[in-house]
Structure 1
Amino acid sequence: MSSHYVGMMSGTSLDAVDALLIDFSLSQPKLIKRCSVDLPIKLKELLTFLAHSQNLTFRQLAEAEDGLTRLYADCALQLLANLPNNLQPKAMGCHGQTLEHQPNLAPSYTLQLLNPSLLAELTGQNIIADFRRRDLAAGGQAAPLVPAFHRNVFQSLAKDRIIVNLGGIANVTYLPKSLEQDVIGFDTGPANLLLDYWHQLHWKQPFDEGGQNASGGKLLTRLLEAALEDEFFSLPAPKSTGREKFNPNWLTKLLSGFSKEQLNAQDVLRTLTELTAASLTDQIQLLDPDSEAEIFICGGGWKNSFLIERIRKLSPAQKIASTEVLGIPPQDVEAAAFAWLAWRHVQNKSGNLPSVTGALGERVLGGFYPA
């Protein structure tokens, strides 16, 4: 049986589809090949509209799902081109694009846009998709799912570790060195999602490279305090969030309490950066009050050197590095996690951590769509 699996991911930042080919035959996953395809502007605009609109049509959903699935297929075929037979994957684990995630409503729901049947047809590969709903059905938050992968590849028996993912949303995984202690993981608040939105609105560029514009702004203390008053930040774990919570409407409402003269665009960007750093490090301090754990960061936010500088400043006693040190580049961790979840599914092994999601127990995640 092949030990090679593909993981595919498009995150809340809506920038690209990432695909990795991973070998799971060794004690640590081995990256064989990677591919990334940018989302076309029209598809990105449609997905953004669907994620924030209360008035949408089935036709729009179908159009977005078809376009996204074909982009996944294009990325997968580029990844698999010219591969020898001994590197062909057993299956591809595909997350899809989250449009809305509401685990706390009744009934609870989570929607990831992807057509795995079409993807199987277009690629000729076994597809494993729809990873979140089984955990949700078992009473869990269905997110974050990646901490189970973090435990498998990043846990140390010598030192407590905290894995930080800075994607559209920031989340943490606490990996105690003792195997008798539970792994803890949850979302801490907004990250690239609001930063990219504000930068695109005012500078007409996809993101603030290196956090350069944010670093030149002034911290608006009252605005930061108002933002941190949001009830999400004080909720206990397990908890998860996404675009349905931290979106342009949330930010507009927050800013409405201030005059235009108080809201220089660069100062707001600086303050949103501080919001990400402060909400994250507040939770890290609760998880690790003695500041003894090592912190490793993954996700696109690692490239925002000003954001990383602020996290370091607010966590001065702790070692902070990227997951590259642990063998997986920061940008590859989430896609690798979905390759791992596909590998677990094929082995009929669980992919969730009840201590993280709050589910009633361990469950095999995902649905299988044969080639």
Structure 2
Amino acid sequence: MNRKQIYVGMMSGTSLDGVDAVASYFGGAGDLEVIGRSSVDFPPQLRALLLKLASSDLVSFSDLSAAEELLTQSYAQCWKLLSQQYPNITPLALGCHGQTIEHRPNQGYTLQLLNPSLLSELTGCNVICDFRRRDLAAGGQGAPLAPAFHQSFMASDAEDRIIVNLGGIANITWLPAQLDQPSLGMDTGPANILLDGWCQLKQQQAFDNKGHWARGGQLITELLEHLLKDSYFTQGFPKSTGREKFNLNWLQDQLAEFSSSQLADEDIQATLTELTAVSLCQAINTLDTQGTAKLLVCGGGAKNRYLLERIATVSQRTTLTTDELGIPPQDVEALAFAWLAYRHQQGLSGNLPEVTGAKGERILGGYYPA
């Protein structure tokens, strides 16, 4: 394989569980081959620090620097594991998302924590990172960025498709079968960020395995209606959001207003699952008014069978995972950042202005040579 065509994408999302890395080969338009993958969990100290930084208005330099050091070490560890498993891989660059600590696009600000210079030293690889801020500088939201990748590798002239990414935040990409029409997308609201958080708080489990806990609960209709009154859900697109908006503090505030003392924990989990499904499907209907698009799900939430069932029921659409396209759901986001690194090196744009609201197409990311 040509060394110039191998890139590694590295992603750590709002779920704060760890780093995923995917090595991929890009051979031209629509030509994608996954070579290998690895993942590492965040150590408890790092996860605690990231949660603290993401939920605090006052941030100490010592916490920030410690988190950046530990995070960069985790990225390097993930690359080391990948390179040991696949010793013949020599990527042109690592495309690294970094860890989002704050995302406030309406203020023109976003922060993805990472020390790319240190990562380059630790790995001996070129590093491309900081993909969001150029789009922000051009008047965009800086997110979601994956829709450009979805458009390049997942669109079909045979059918309308919607790619649903269920990470900490849910986002969607509408891919019309008429390929001359623009692809559209947006963040739709919370997904694993609340489902995992509530499960961790009440069950001391990292996540609700396959949605079993939520399945055993009952929907609280009044609570769902109350949660859906948040203005984000009716806000027009382009729009993006994150942990600074939807978090356990937000949920506790909503529950306090609702007088939740008699609500069962599993019923709240079931209602949060429905919140993700309903807010997602409301957004889907604003992009695909004909209701014909097939839903293809990726991200960690694709493992939540109960959530997928609720999305299929609420949307009344065929709902599959990106396995249908030969791309494992857990690989999609990391692949998107490998592709963004490839685009950067080729001098090509990586954003979709119709999605982010930027003034035009831009080459995204900053380059840190080995």
Distance 2:147 2:268 in 1: 32
> Contact conserved, 2:168 with 2:190, CA < 8 A, in 1?
yes
Could you say which residue in structure 2 is the equivalent of 1:189? Answer: 189
Report the CA distance between 1:84 and its aligned residue. 5.0
Could you say which residue in structure 2 is the equivalent of 1:298? Answer: 298
One-letter code of the match for 2:22? L
> Is 1:288 aligned to residue 288 of structure 2?
yes
Could you say which residue in structure 1 is the equivalent of 2:218? Answer: 218
> Is 1:7 aligned to residue 13 of structure 2?
no
Name the Cα RMSD after superposition: 1.1
Moved more, 287-296 or 44-53: 287-296
| CA displacement, residues 88-115 of structure 1 (integer Å, 9 cap, x when unaligned) | 101010000000100112xx20000000
Distance 1:196 1:171 in 2: 17
| CA displacement, residues 95-143 of structure 1 (integer Å, 9 cap, x when unaligned) | 00000100112xx200000000000000000000000000000000000
Could you say which residue in structure 2 is the equivalent of 1:91? Answer: 93
One-letter code of the match for 1:95? H
Moved more, 247-256 or 285-294: 285-294
> Is 1:348 aligned to residue 347 of structure 2?
yes
Report the CA distance between 1:83 and its aligned residue. 4.2
Could you say which residue in structure 1 is the equivalent of 2:335? Answer: 336
Report the CA distance between 1:188 and its aligned residue. 0.4
Q: Residues 69 and 292 of structure 1: is their aligned pair in 2 closer, same or farther, counting only changes over 3 Å?
A: same
Report the CA distance between 1:36 and its aligned residue. 0.4
> Contact conserved, 2:36 with 2:86, CA < 8 A, in 1?
no
| CA displacement, residues 44-93 of structure 1 (integer Å, 9 cap, x when unaligned) | 011000000112211110000000001100110111126455x3101010
Q: Once the two structures are aligned, what percentage of the paired residues are identical?
A: 59
Q: Residues 113 and 292 of structure 1: is their aligned pair in 2 closer, same or farther, counting only changes over 3 Å?
A: same
One-letter code of the match for 2:356? T
> Contact conserved, 2:349 with 2:364, CA < 8 A, in 1?
yes
Report the CA distance between 1:289 and its aligned residue. 2.7
Distance 2:298 2:190 in 1: 15
Distance 2:165 2:285 in 1: 16
Could you say which residue in structure 2 is the equivalent of 1:369? Answer: 368
Alignment map for 1:24-63 (pairs within 5 Å): 24-25=26-27, 27-63=30-66
| CA displacement, residues 187-239 of structure 1 (integer Å, 9 cap, x when unaligned) | 00000000000000000000000111101111111110010000000000000
Moved more, 250-259 or 357-366: 250-259
Report the CA distance between 1:368 and its aligned residue. 0.3
Alignment map for 1:191-270 (pairs within 5 Å): 191-270=191-270
Distance 1:122 1:190 in 2: 34
Could you say which residue in structure 2 is the equivalent of 1:124? Answer: 124
Alignment map for 1:109-120 (pairs within 5 Å): 109-120=109-120
Specify the SS of the correspondent of 1:25.
strand
Alignment gaps of 5+ in structure 2: none
Could you say which residue in structure 1 is the equivalent of 2:311? Answer: 311
Could you say which residue in structure 2 is the equivalent of 1:134? Answer: 134
TM-score with structure 1 setting the length: 0.97
Report the CA distance between 1:259 and its aligned residue. 2.7
Could you say which residue in structure 1 is the equivalent of 2:155? Answer: 155
Could you say which residue in structure 2 is the equivalent of 1:102? Answer: 104
One-letter code of the match for 2:100? T
Specify the SS of the correspondent of 2:106.
coil
Report the CA distance between 1:34 and its aligned residue. 0.4
Distance 1:122 1:288 in 2: 45
> Is 1:323 aligned to residue 326 of structure 2?
no
Could you say which residue in structure 2 is the equivalent of 1:175? Answer: 175
Report the CA distance between 1:260 and its aligned residue. 3.9
Distance 1:166 1:104 in 2: 23
Report the CA distance between 1:286 and its aligned residue. 2.1
Distance 2:32 2:142 in 1: 24
TM-score with structure 2 setting the length: 0.97
> Contact conserved, 1:2 with 1:88, CA < 8 A, in 2?
no
> Contact conserved, 2:53 with 2:64, CA < 8 A, in 1?
yes
Moved more, 170-179 or 90-99: 170-179
> Contact conserved, 2:308 with 2:319, CA < 8 A, in 1?
no
One-letter code of the match for 2:98? G
One-letter code of the match for 1:351? G
Number of residue pairs the alignment of both structures matches: 367
Alignment gaps of 5+ in structure 1: none
Report the CA distance between 1:180 and its aligned residue. 2.2
